[in-house]
Amino acid sequence: MELCAQKRPPEDERRVKANARDYNEKFQYASNCIKTSKYNIVTFLPVNLFEQFQEVANTYFLFLLILQLIPQISSLSWFTTIVPLVLVLTITAVKDATDDYFRHKSDNQVNNRQSQVLINGTLQQEQWMNVRVGDIIKLENNQFVAADLLLLSSSEPHGLCYIETAELDGETNMKVRQAIPVTSELADTSRLAQFDGEVICETPNNKLDKFSGTLYWKENKYLLSNQNMLLRGCVLRNTEWCFGLVIFAGPDTKLMQNSGRTKFKRTSIDRLMNTLVLWIFGFLVCMGVILAFGNAIWEYKVGARFQMYLPWDTAVDSAAFSGFLSFWSYIIILNTVVPISLYVSVEVIRLGHSYFINWDKKMYCAKRRTPAEARTTTLNEELGQVEYIFSDKTGTLTQNIMVFSKCSVHGRSYGDVQDMLGHKAELGERPEPVDFSFNPLADPRFRFWDAGLLAAVQLGNPHVHEFFRLLSLCHTVMSEEKNEGELYYKAQSPDEGALVTAARNFGFVFRARTPKTITVHELGHAITYQLLAILDFNNVRKRMSVIVRNPEGKIRLYCKGADTILLERLHPANLELASITTDHLNEYAGEGLRTLVLAYKDLEEGYYGDWAERLRRASLAPDAREDRLARLYDEVEHDMMLLGATAIEDKLQQGVPETIAILTLANIKIWVLTGDKPETAVNIGYSCKMLTDDMTEVFVVTGHTVLEVREELRKAREKMMDGSRSMGNGFSCQEKLCSSKLPSVLEAIAGEYALVINGHSLAHALEADMELEFLETACACKAVICCRVTPLQKAQVVELVKKYKKAVTLAIGDGANDVSMIKTAHIGVGISGLEGIQAVLAADYSFSQFKFLQRLLLVHGRWSYLRMCKFLCYFFYKNFAFTMVHFWFGFFCGFSAQTVYDQYFITLYNIVYTSLPVLAMGVFDQDVPEQRSMEYPKLYEPGQLNLLFNKREFFICIAQGIYTSVLMFFIPYGVFADATRGDGAQLADYQSFAVTVATSLVIVVSVQIGLDTGFWTAINHFFIWGSLAVYFAILFAMHSNGLFQMFPNQFRFVGNAQNTLAQPIVWLTIALTTVVCIMPVVAFRFLKLDLKPELSDTVRYTQLVRKKQKTQHRCMRRVGRGGGGGPRGPRRSGYAFSHQEGFGELIMSGKNMRLSSLALSSFATRSSTSWIETLRKKKGGDSSNASSPSGGADKTLKV
C-alpha cells in the first residue's frame, strides 16, 4: 500500500514504451494502485489529532487546559476541561477511524481486482495495483477498464470496441472506440509481445473528452486521439476482448484526476452556530473584563485590607495585576457558555437523523433493493429549509423507459383503456392486457391494453398493416438473436426501441438487417426488403425516412417525424384525415405523450433512379455536402400519404406529478435543468404537471444573441406585469391586502407563467450583466425549464440562485452530467438509477425514486430542522443558566473566580446530567405526525423562512438562560442569607449552597426539557428520569465517606448531600426556584397557543379534536394524472424524439455489423443458424463467465 504514496517529479510530457518496464521505470510514473484513505495504523493518532486541533473549538479548549495548569489563575481543576475534551476527541476519532477503515476496504477491493497482463509474451493474472504504465493488458466483455489504455486491437472488425461510460460521464448509450489501423492487426499475444511502439503524449489531466499523443512505431508516426483511448471506469460491452497499452495508471487516470476532493458543505445553521459561538465568545470576554475590573476594584478597596486573613499571592503585587489574573480565571470558569459538547452533540443528532433516513422503509425501493442513504450526515436540518429544487429530467423525473402507449391509424385512435361505460379507466382497475401469444416472436414485456388494435391487425386492415410495416422498417435499430426467436434490439434511442418493439408484438417483427436489406417477419412470413437509402434524422429536419424496395419491386419511402413538419408535407388528399389525426395528436400532447407522425410515399422507379444518382453525386461533393443532401432529402419527402401517429409515453418515475404538486404547495420552486431538447423537456413538464394548459403563458426563450435574449426576457416580464394589472382591476381591494405582504412586485403577479429557456440563450442570460434580469424573470414564473444545458450551466444556474436568493437549494439528478450541480447546490441528491453511480457518489443523499424527495423534505427535513432548532435553543439556554450563576456569585465572593458548584458537577453537567435528554429530544422530537406534514405542506414554510432558530430566537434563549441564572442564584441567596438548619447549625455554608443551586439547576433544566419535548418516547422518559437519577446517584457517591477516605483532598464535599438534602428548607428553596423559573415560560407558551398559534399547533389541535370526534379523514387528492380536456389556446405539438444523427450512415456502411448478425441475415436458413450457434457457443466457452446475455436494456453492471 505504501507504493501509492510516493512523490514524483512533475512531468512535461509522458513517454511510454510498450513492453518495456525497465525503460518506463526511470520516469517513475504512478503505479495503478489508488489510495483514498487518509491514515494507517501508525499515523492515525498524530494525524487525526493534528486535524482535530485545527478545529477552532478544540484548540480553544486546549488553550483553556493550559490556562488551568497555571496555579495562580486555575479556578478549576484540570479535569473539568480534559474530560469533555477527551470525550469529544475520542468520539470524533472513532468516527474518522471507521470512515477510513471503509476507505481502506474499498481501496483494497479495487486494487486487488484481477486483470490479465502480457508479461514476457504470456498473459498472466495480476492485481490491478501491480499493473504498470507500458504494460499491455487484455480486457474481456463486461470488465472494467483497469487504467487509461490506448486501444491496440479488439475482437471486432476494424479494431472497433464498444464501451459504456456511465461511471465516467453518466451517458448510458454505448460509445465506439477504434484502434488505429496499424495496431488493430495485432490480435494475438505473440505479435503483441513484439510490439515496441513508443507513445509520447500529454501529461495527466482531467479532460475526459480530449487526448493528444503520438505513437512512434517502426519509424512511423501515428496521431492518437481520444477516439483511441479506453478510460478507467468504463466497461467493455459487446466486445469479446480487446488489448490496450497502459498510458496513465492509478492516480494519473482521468477518472481519478476528476474525483477532486469534494468541497465540504456546511448548513446555514452551521454558519449561524459559528457566528453565535463567536458572539458568545465575545460575551465571555466582556464578562471576564467586567469581573476583572470588579476584582481589581475589590482587591484595591477590600482585599488589600483583608490581607490580614487572606494575603495576596506572592506573585501579585497590585490590585490591577490581580484583576488581570482574575480575568483568565473567569475565562476558565465561564468557558461553559461556549459549549464544547455542542459540536459533538450536533453531530450525534445529525447522525441519528441520517440513520432515520437510511432506515426509512417508506423510502426503500423494493424493486431495486435500494434504501435511501444519507451519504453526508451533516446536512439534515437544511433539508427542512429548501426553497429551490433543481431537477434533472432523464432518469430523475422519468424512468428513461419509452412505452408505446397510443396510436392513431387512419383516423382512428387506439390505446385508451376503456371500461364498461366507455369512460377511460383509472389506474389500477385495468383489465387484462392484450394477449400476444399468437406471435412466437413477441416481447413478453410489452403491454398494450386496447384489444381493438390487434383485432384490426388480424382482420387485415391495410392501413394498420402499413402503419406497423413502417415502424418495423423506418428506424436505425440493430437486432441480435442469441437463440432462435430470442430477439434483442439494440436501439440507439429508447423511442425507437419502443416503436420497433410495438411493431414486433403486433406481428411485424424486425428480424435482421444488413447494410442493404431489412428482414421483417410480417405475421409469420419472412419478407426481406431492399434498403435503398436512409434519410437520416437530425434536429433541423425533425424526421427520418427510409426508402425500401419490397419483394414485389415497388419502391416506397417511409417517413416518421414531428407533426409540425410532416403535416405540412402531406399530399393535399390527406386534408380530412390530417385534421382528425391532429385532434388525436392534441389529445396525446395534452396527456404529455411524445408524438410522431408517420407517412409514406410511393416512388416511381425512374424518379428514384434519377434521385439516387443525384444523391450519390451530392454525397461525393467536396463542399457543402450537408446542404446538398438536405435539399435532396427535402425534395423527396414531399406529398406524402398520412398513415397515422404514434404516442409514446416517456414513463415518469412513480408518483412524480403528485410529488411535484405537493412540493409546490410547500412553496418550493422546482426548476428542471436538462440536457435534453426543448420539445422533450416541455413534454415532460406537461406530463408531470409542472406546466399545465391552464397556465396564462409559457415563455420560450430561444434567442441566439445577447440582445435577443434580453428582449425576450423583457417582454416576458412586461407581459406578466400587464397580466397582473388587468387581473388587479377586478380584485383591487384584495390585491391591496396581499401586496403589502409580498416582497417584490414581480412576485405579486397574478396568473401562472412558466419559462422555458434554451441552452444557448441561457449562456447569454447567465452573463454578469443579465443574470439578475434572468433570475428575476425566472423567479416570477411558477415553473422554469432549462433545456440543452451543459453540466457547467446547470451548476451556474444553481450558483446564481444561491448567490442572489439567499435560499437553500437542492439539486437532484442521476447522471454524471448532474454532478456539478449536485456539488454546487446546498444539498445534492443522487438518484441511484440506471445511469451509473457517479451522481450518487457526489451526492449528499441518494435514493432510487424521485417521489421519495417529498418524504425526505417534508418529513425528515422538516423534523430535522425542527429538532435541531429546538436542540440549539435548549442547549444555549441550559449553558447560560448554568454558567451565568458564576457571574452573579462573583459580586459576592470578591470577584475571586470562585465557582458556585462543586468541580465534579461542572465536569459532568454538560456531558452527563443534561446531555442525554436534550439529545433524545434532538433525535426523536416531532411536532406533528408524518402524515400531517405530508397532508399540510404549508407546515414546511417556517423552515424556509428560518423562523425556528435565528438570531432573535437565540437572544430569547439566552435571555431565558440569564433569567434562570439570576433566580438560580438570588433565590437561594435570599433564603440562605439568614437561614439555619433544622438542627440549628448554619445553613449558609458554601458546600450546602453549591448543592442546593446545583440541584435546583438540574431540576429546572429537566422540567424545561420536559416542556420542550413535544413527542415523548420511552427513550425520552428514560433519559430525563435517568439523568435525574444519575445526578442524585453521582451526588451521593461523590459525597460519600468511602471516596473521601481514599482521596480526602479531591472529595471535600463529604457528607454534604445527605446533610443538605435532608433539610426541608432546601427543598422548599428548590421548589420555589423551579416554579419561578418555569412559570413565565408556561404562561408565555399558553398565551401564544391561544393568541397566535403556529400552523403546527393548529394542526396538532385539530388532530386532537379529530381523534375525539372521529370525523373522517380529510383526503387531499388534488392531484392525479387525469387526462383532462383538450388544450385551450394555440395548438401545442407533442413531438419529442430523442435521437441522434449519424446512425443511418453507420448502418448503410455496415461498419457496426458484427460477423454474427451479418451471417444471420445472409444465411437465413435453419441449418446455417445452428452452425452459427455452435460457433457462438465455442466463443462463449472461451470467454468463460465474462459474457452474459446482454440485451439493450440488460444491465449486468456489477461494481
Residues 6 or more apart whose CB falls under 8 angstroms from that of 501 comprise 404, 443, 446, 489
Q: Which is nearer to other proteins, 433 or 1048 (CB)?
A: 1048
Q: Which of residues 861-900 bind other proteins (CB under 8 A)?
A: 892-894, 896-898
Whether residue 794 is annotated as binding a ligand: the answer is yes
Nearest CA to 183 among 172, 194, 173?
A: 194
Site for other proteins (CB under 8 A): how many residues? 83
Separation CA 846–CA 1157 (nearest Å) = 40
Binding window for other proteins (CB under 8 A); candidates: 613-621, 1013-1021, 1030-1038, 1039-1047:
1039-1047
Return d(Cα 152, Cα 186) in angstroms, integer. 7
Please pick, from the candidates 93, 665, 750, 1148, the single residue that binds other proteins as defined by CB under 8 A.
665
- Terminal-to-terminal C-alpha distance of the chain: 21
* Grid cell 434519410 in the structure block, residue: 535
Nearer to other proteins, 1093 or 1126 (CB): 1093
Q: Which stretch binds other proteins (CB under 8 A): 251-259, 750-758, 933-941, 1001-1009?
A: 933-941
User: Is 367 marked as a binding-site residue?
Assistant: no
| Residues between 231 and 270 with contacts to other proteins, criterion CB under 8 A | none
Residues known to be catalytic: 392
Does 818 count as an annotated binding residue? Answer: yes
Task: Compute the chain's Rg from CA coordinates.
Answer: 38
Residue 814, annotated as binding a ligand? yes
Asked if residue 243 lies in contact with residue 165, where contact means CB atoms within 8 angstroms, the answer is no
CB-nearer residue toward other proteins: 319 or 897: 897
- At 662, is the secondary structure helix, strand, or coil? helix
Q: Which residue has the cell 405579486?
A: 748
* Of the residues 936, 940, 954, 963, which one makes contact with other proteins according to CB under 8 A: 936
The nearer residue to other proteins, 1108 or 1166, going by C-beta atoms, is 1108
Q: How far is CA 1121 from the centre of its chain?
A: 26
Q: Which of 428, 553, 1064, 1130 binds other proteins (CB under 8 A)?
A: 1064
Span from 521-529, 731-739, 789-797, 1057-1065 in contact with other proteins (CB under 8 A): 1057-1065
> Which of the ranges 2-10, 91-99, 931-939, 1024-1032 carries the binding residues for other proteins, by CB under 8 A?
931-939
Q: Considering beta carbons, is residue 834 or 1009 the nearer one to other proteins?
A: 1009
Contact status: 1150 vs other proteins (CB under 8 A): no
Minimum distance from residue 1095 beta carbon to other proteins (Å): 7
Q: Is 394 annotated as belonging to a binding site?
A: yes
Q: Which stretch binds other proteins (CB under 8 A): 194-202, 220-228, 538-546, 1043-1051?
A: 1043-1051
We find the least distance from the C-beta atom of residue 535 to other proteins, in angstroms, to be 54
| Mask for 149-168, x = binds other proteins (CB under 8 A) | --------------------
937-966: contacts with other proteins (CB under 8 A):
937-938
Is 925 annotated in a binding site? The answer is: no
Among positions 897-916, residues that touch other proteins (CB under 8 A) are: 897-898
Residues 306-325 that bind other proteins (CB under 8 A): 306, 308-311, 313-314
Closest CA to 897 of 285, 283, 61, 294: 294
- Contacting residue, 315, 707, 1075, 1199, with other proteins by CB under 8 A: 1075
Query: At closest approach, how far in Å is the CB of 1044 from other proteins?
Result: 7
Of 953, 930, 952, 926, nearest to 865 by C-alpha is: 926
The answer on whether 392 is annotated among ligand-binding residues is yes
Which amino acid is residue 947, in one-letter code?
L
Phi/psi for 124 (5° steps) reads -125, 145
CB of 1048 to other proteins, least distance (A): 4
Does residue 270 have a known ligand-binding role? no
Nearer to other proteins, 4 or 994 (CB): 994
The nearer residue to other proteins, 792 or 893, going by C-beta atoms, is: 893
Closest contact distance (angstroms) between CB of 771 and other proteins is 34
Nearest approach, Cβ of residue 1055 and other proteins (Å): 3
In the complex with other proteins, the residue whose CB is nearer, 214 or 1111, is 1111
Cβ-proximal residues to 96 (8 Å cutoff; 6+ apart), any chain? 38, 39, 48, 51
In DSSP terms, 534 is beta-bridged to 546
CB of 305 to other proteins, least distance (A): 4
Distance CA 1168, CA 1159 (A): 9
Q: Locate 304 and state its grid cell.
A: 488589600
Contact 895, 335 (CB under 8 A): no
d(CA 530, CA 26): 59
Cα–Cα distance, 404 to 834 (Å, whole number)? 21
Rounded distance, CA 947 to CA 160, Å? 61
Residue 715 vs 1106, nearer CB to other proteins: 1106
Q: Where are the beta strands (DSSP E) in 28-134?
A: 114-119, 122-127
Kindly write down the DSSP assignment for every residue of 268-337, as one continuous string.
HHHHHHHHHHHHHHHHHHHHHHHHHHHHHHHIIIIITGGGGTSPPPTT--SHHHHHHHHHHHHHHHHGGG
- The footprint of other proteins on residues 1080-1099 (CB under 8 A) is 1082-1083, 1085-1087, 1089-1091, 1093, 1095, 1097-1099
583 labelled ligand-binding: no
Q: CB of 597 within 8 A of CB of 563?
A: yes
Residue whose C-alpha is closest to residue 852's, from 830, 874, 870, 875 = 830
3-class SS of residue 679: helix
Name which of residues 552 to 591 contact other proteins (CB under 8 A).
none
- Whose cell is 402499413? That residue is 466
Is 627 annotated for ligand binding? no
For residue 466, say whether it is annotated as part of any ligand binding site.
no
Residue 499's closest CA among 598, 581, 430, 427? 598
Contacting other proteins within 601-630 (CB under 8 A): none
Q: Is 1049 in the site for other proteins (CB under 8 A)?
A: yes
Residues 33-92, interacting with other proteins (CB under 8 A): 71, 75
Of residues 801 and 1099, the one with the C-beta less far from other proteins:
1099
- Rounded distance, CA 578 to CA 572, Å? 10
Among 279, 488, 973, 1032, binds other proteins (CB under 8 A): 973
CB closer to other proteins out of 770 and 1043: 1043
Q: Does 215 bind other proteins (CB under 8 A)?
A: no
- In one-letter notation, the amino acid at residue 51 is E
Q: What's the min distance (Å) between Cβ of 1013 and other proteins?
A: 14
The strand pairing partners of 213, in sequence order, are 201, 224
In whole angstroms, how close is the CB of 318 to other proteins at the nearest point?
Answer: 16
Q: Determine whether the annotation assigns residue 476 to a binding site.
A: no
Give dist(CA 843, CA 356) in Å, integer.
18
Rule CB under 8 A: choose which of 176, 1043, 1076, 1158 binds other proteins: 1076
Q: How far is the CB of 102 from other proteins (least distance, A)?
A: 45
3-state secondary structure 784-803: EEECCCCHHHHHHHHHHHHH
Pairing between β-strand 412-414 and β-strand 398-409 as defined by DSSP bridges: antiparallel
Q: Check the annotation: does 1179 bind a ligand.
A: no
Residues 975-1014 interacting with other proteins (rule: CB under 8 A): 975-982, 984-994
How many residues make up the chain in this entry?
A: 1199
Hey, is 70 helix, strand or coil?
A: coil
Q: Does position 1116 bind other proteins by CB under 8 A?
A: yes
Which parts are annotated binding residues for Mg(2+)? Answer: 392, 394, 814, 818
Which parts are annotated binding residues for ATP? Answer: 392-394, 496, 537, 560, 594, 674-676, 788, 794, 817-818
Which parts are annotated binding residues? Answer: 392-394, 496, 537, 560, 594, 674-676, 788, 794, 814, 817-818
